C-alpha cells in the first residue's frame, strides 16, 4: 500500500516545483509529474497546497524529570501533538542524573520512548565527568548512534558542568567526530542573582527573567565558543535568545569557526511582558533562558535569514501551571522551567515568518526540517523529498486559519504560551512513515509506531 500525492507545490530547502510524490512501504519511491498510482494506493489531490518534508524538531524534552516533577507530555502525547502540527520526527535528550552511568540513563530513555508515535533520536547529555565518561561517549557514538552531546553551563550542582568538564567533553567529542551542544548561561551568576533577588523579597515569576539577564547568556556563549575554538570542536548553541549571542556566533563564523545556532518561536515572537501577567499566570512562560525584552527579537529573525542561526526548534518541555509550576508560587527559583511548543512551530513560523516576509518558503523548510537533519546526521532520510527518503510529508493548506488555544491544542498541559495567536496556514494531511496520521483535523496516530533513529555524522 502506498500514497500518491498529486499536483502539489513541492517545497524543499532548495527548490519549489509543482508535481507528484509517490510513496510505498514507508519510503518515497518517485517524485515527478503525471505519476500513476498503483493498485490499492491512496491518492491525495494537493492542488493549491504545498508539500513539505515532515518537520524535524531537534530539541524536545518528553517526560523529563526536572526540578522535582516530570514534564507533562510523555513520548506518546508529545509526538502526537507534533504530528498534528506537521512535525514528524524529534530528537530528545537523555539527561542522566549527576554521577549516573550514562548508559543507564540511555536505557531509561529507550524504555520511555517506546510509546512514541513518530520517529525519534537522542542526544546524550554529559552531566558530569568521571573516569568512565570518555568510554560512555565512545559507546554512544560508535554503538548507539548518538553522535551529539549536550552540556549545560547552568543548573550548577545538578546537571550543569564546569569549564573543566566542558573541555573534557569537547576534547572527547572531537576525537570521536561528534558534535558538542551547549546550553549557554553563566551558572554561578544565575545562582547569585537568584539568591540576591529572593533575599530582597522579590519572589514572583517576573524575577526569573531578571535573574538570567541577556549578558549571562552572551558571556557563556562567547566562552563556549572560545573553548570550542581551543579544542577545535564544532559547536551547536541551543535556544539562542539574545542579540549579543547572535553577534558572538556571527563573529566566530566570520573567522571560519564551525559554530551553529538554533532559536525557538517563543524567543522570536514573545517579549518579557509575559512574566507580568496577574495571578501567577506569568509562570507559564518561565523557561531558561527566559523570554527577552523587546529589541532582541528582530536580530534573531535577521540571523535566521542570514544563516547565522540555522535551526528553529522548540525546547518543548511543558509543565502544568496547576500542580507543577505552582510549586514556586512563593519562590520563582522553584518554578519548573519549560513550556509547550511542538504542535505550533510550523504554523507560527509560516504565519509570522513566511507571510510577514521574514523568511521565504525554502528557508522555512530549511530551518524547520532540512538543516537540523543535515547537522545531526539524519539527512537525506529526513528533511528531504527525494527517492529513498522516509515518507514523512506534510500537505500544507495555505488558506487555513486558526487561533492557538489551550482548549484545542494536543499538548497535555493546562496553559499555552501562544494563547490567542492567530495563524494562517496549517497541515491538511500529515504522512508519517508512509501512513496518513493526520487529516483534516483527525489525528490517527498509533502508540509505539515511532522508530529509534541511529545517527552518524560521518
Residue 1, pLDDT above cutoff 90? no
Q: Which residues pair with 416 in a beta bridge?
A: none
Q: Do 83 and 437 touch, CB atoms closer than 8 A?
A: yes
pLDDT at 266 over 80: yes
Over the stretch 120-160, which tens digit does the pLDDT of each residue have? 999 999 999 999 999 999 999 999 999 999 999 999 889 99
- Region for 377 from its dihedrals, namely left if φ exceeds 0, alpha if ψ lies in -120 to 50, beta otherwise: left
Q: What is the pLDDT of residues 53-109, one digit of tens each?
A: 999 999 999 999 999 999 999 999 999 999 999 999 999 999 999 999 999 999 999
Can you give the length of the chain in residues?
458
Percent of the chain scoring above 70 in pLDDT: 100
Residue range 333-340: average pLDDT?
98
Among candidate residues 393, 381, 386, 391, the one with its CA nearest the CA of residue 453: 381
Beta strands, E only, 323-447: 393-403, 422-432, 435-439, 442-443
Domains (range + CATH), the chain: 2-52+388-402+421-443 (2.30.40.10), 59-375 (3.20.20.140)
Phi/psi at 283 (nearest 5 deg)?
Answer: -65, -25
Give the residue-averaged pLDDT of 206-220. 98
Cell numbers placing 141: 557514538
Cβ atoms of residues 365 and 22 within 8 Å: no
Distance between CA 107 and CA 105 in Å, rounded?
A: 5
Residues facing 51 on adjacent strands: 10, 395
Helices (H), 287-384: 297-306, 345-349, 361-365, 371-375
Backbone angles phi, psi at 398, to 5 degrees: -70, -10
Instruction: Tell me the average pLDDT across 404-428.
Output: 98
Mean pLDDT over residues 214-242, rounded? Answer: 98
Tally of CB atoms within 10 A around 306 = 11
What gap in Å lies between CA 35 and CA 385, rounded to an integer?
A: 15
| 113 pLDDT more than 80 | yes
Question: Which is nearest to 292 in space by CA: 331, 330, 264?
Answer: 264
Is the pTM here over 0.95, yes or no? yes
Amino acid at each position: 500500500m502506498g500514497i500518491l500525492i498529486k499536483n502539489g507545490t513541492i517545497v524543499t530547502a532548495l527548490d519549489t516545483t509543482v508535481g507528484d510524490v509517490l510513496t510505498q512501504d514507508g519510503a518515497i519511491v518517485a517524485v515527478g509529474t503525471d505519476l500513476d498510482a498503483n493498485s490499492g494506493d491512496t491518492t491525495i489531490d494537493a492542488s493549491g497546497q504545498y508539500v513539505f518534508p515532515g518537520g524535524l524538531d531537534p530539541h524536545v524534552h518528553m517526560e523529563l524529570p526536572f526540578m522535582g516533577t516530570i514534564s507533562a507530555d510523555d513520548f506518546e502525547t508529545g509526538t502526537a501533538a507534533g504530528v498534528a502540527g506537521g512535525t514528524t520526527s524529534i530528537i530528545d535528550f537523555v539527561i542522566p542524573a549527576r554521577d549516573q552511568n550514562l548508559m543507564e540513563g540511555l536505557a531509561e530513555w529507550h524504555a520511555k520512548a517506546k510509546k512514541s508515535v513518530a520517529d525519534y533520536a537522542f542526544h546524550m547529555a554529559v552531566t558530569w565527568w568521571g573516569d568512565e565518561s570518555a568510554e560512555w561517549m565512545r559507546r554512544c557514538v560508535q554503538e548507539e548512534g548518538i553522535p551529539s552531546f549536550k552540556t549545560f553551563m547552568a543548573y550548577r550542582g545538578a546537571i550543569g558542568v564546569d569549564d573543566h568538564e566542558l573541555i573534557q567533553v569537547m576534547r572527547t567529542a572531537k576525537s570521536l567526530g561528534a558534535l558538542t551542544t551547549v546550553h549557554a548561561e553563566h551558572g554561578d551568576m544565575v545562582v547569585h542573582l537568584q539568591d540576591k533577588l529572593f533575599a530582597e523579597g522579590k519572589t514572583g515569576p517576573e524575577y526569573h527573567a531578571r535573574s538570567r539577564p541577556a549578558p549571562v547568556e552572551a558571556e557563556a556563549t562567547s566562552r563556549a565558543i572560545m573553548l570550542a575554538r581551543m579544542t577545535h570542536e564544532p559547536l551547536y548553541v541551543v535556544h539562542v535568545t539574545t542579540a549579543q549571542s547572535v553577534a558572538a556566533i556571527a563573529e566566530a563564523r566570520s573567522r571560519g569557526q564551525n559554530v551553529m545556532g538554533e532559536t525557538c518561536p517563543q524567543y522570536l515572537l514573545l517579549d518579557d511582558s509575559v512574566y507580568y501577567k496577574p495571578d501567577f499566570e506569568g509562570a507559564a512562560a518561565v523557561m531558561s533562558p527566559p523570554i527577552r525584552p523587546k529589541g532582541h527579537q528582530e536580530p534573531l529573525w535577521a540571523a535566521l535569514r542570514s544563516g547565522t542561526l540555522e535551526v528553529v526548534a522548540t525546547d518543548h518541555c511543558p509543565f502544568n501551571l496547576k500542580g507543577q509550576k505552582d510549586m514556586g508560587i512563593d519562590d520563582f527559583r522553584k518554578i519548573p522551567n519549560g513550556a509547550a511548543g511542538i504542535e505550533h512551530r510550523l504554523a507560527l513560523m509560516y504565519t509570522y515568518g513566511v507571510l510577514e516576509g521574514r523568511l521565504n518558503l525554502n528557508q522555512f523548510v530549511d530551518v524547520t526540517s532540512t538543516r537540523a537533519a543535515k547537522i545531526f546526521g539524519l539527512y537525506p532520510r529526513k528533511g528531504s523529498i527525494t527517492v529513498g527518503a522516509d515518507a514523512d510529508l506534510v500537505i500544507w493548506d495555505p488558506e487555513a486559519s486558526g487561533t492557538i488555544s489551550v482548549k484545542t491544542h494536543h499538548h497535555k498541559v493546562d496553559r499555552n504560551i501562544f494563547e490567542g495567536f492567530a495563524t494562517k496556514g496549517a497541515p491538511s494531511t500529515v504522512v508519517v512513515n508512509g501512513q496518513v496520521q493526520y487529516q483534516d483535523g483527525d489525528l490517527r496516530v498509533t502508540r509505539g509506531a515511532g522508530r529509534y533513529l541511529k545517527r552518524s555524522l560521518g
